[in-house]
Amino acid sequence: MALPRLIFVTGKGGTGKSTVAAALACAMARRRPTTLADLDGRQSAARILGHQASAAPDARVAPDVHVATNYAGSATTILDGALELAALTPRAELEAFIQRIVPLRAISRRMLKSRTFGYVTAALPGLEAFLMIDRLRLIAGRAALEDRFAVIDAPATGHALELLAVARTIKGLAPIGTLNRLARAVEEFLADRNRFGVVLTVLPEELALREAIEAAGTLRDQLGIESISAILNGVAPALFTAAEIDRMPALGGHRALAQRRRAAAEFAVHARRELKRAGLGVVELPMQYAAQLGALELDAMSAGLAAGLLGGAEPRAR
């Protein structure tokens, strides 16, 4: 399976989106240098990796991955030279955009502080969100030039779909000029399976499955995104057959738990079938039986993703 340079991880809230993003970035970093970027400012994936601004040098977060200590604001952190953490914020991207089009720092700063400029940004709804998506385009371009990967810990599905659709809105609001040119470039980027792909995280539950399939349809049919995969997270084996459960009526609550476990396993089979019917490649990750995910659980997830999603994959030549 050839992989795009940048993988956008989203899913229904509670499906393990940030955990999957962190595990996927670790798996990819063992093949190529990889950037793990957070879009909502909460740094959920970074925290799963054990990253803190005050971390000691070489603090262990997963086998063969260590945390450096130079993280500050929207700067980046290098993990053993292979995994780089980045936090993207709308305001920082707006400031960077203004500085790109107005290279004189004194003037660009004055523009950003002016009340008039505030009116302009208010009149262009979605401008800051659009500039964050354009930043992803630039990250993917850098990844291609430097033979890297990028994994994006994106917002939950609804917000993510709005974010990915914002280029179309900007193009309509700005029919000519710099923003229109950038909007067209972003749309081309999102439709390029060599550069951009989406991974949807799904739990073996009805609501999560339905949302993932609907999201896949929107991504493909309305946004023109071609590279879409699903990760079925938290899959547990049945443990007992139906006949074995029938023979344990006296066990009461234990029998009920066994029935629930079997029903969950059967639904996972159904979910895998429905996701494939929707045209999605599917990778399963087993349930992690731990009160809190640690290095061992993260490494197990990374290994599962490396075997299932990456396999013998190399990035697409670009």
Rounded average pLDDT over 209-224: 96
**How is residue 307 annotated by DSSP?**
I
**Structural contact between residues 25 and 32, judged by C-beta atoms closer than 8 angstroms:** no
Distance, CA of 145 to CA of 203 (rounded, Å): 35
pLDDT for the residue numbered 111: 54
pLDDT tens digits, 285-308: 998 887 777 778 888 888 889 888
Name residues whose C-beta falls within 8 Å of residue 76's C-beta, 6 or more positions apart in sequence: 35, 84, 85, 86
pLDDT for the residue numbered 150: 95
Q: Is the pLDDT of residue 236 over 60?
A: yes
pLDDT tens digits, 80-110: 558 888 888 776 776 676 666 555 555 545 6
Q: Is the pLDDT of residue 264 over 70?
A: yes
pLDDT tens digits, 108-165: 456 556 655 554 555 455 777 888 899 999 999 999 999 999 999 999 999 999 999 9
241 or 160, which is more confident: 160
Instruction: Provide the percentage of residues in the chain whose pLDDT is more than 90.
Output: 41
Distance, CA of 171 to CA of 168 (rounded, Å): 5
Whole-prediction pTM: 0.83
pLDDT for the residue numbered 17: 93
Matching residue, tokens 């995969």: 229
**How is residue 250 annotated by DSSP?**
G
Rounded average pLDDT over 233-260: 79
pLDDT for the residue numbered 229: 95
**Domains of the chain listed by start with CATH number:** 6-310 (3.40.50.300)
Mean pLDDT of the chain: 80
pLDDT tens digits, 51-77: 642 233 333 344 444 443 333 333 455
Distance, CA of 310 to CA of 19 (rounded, Å): 17
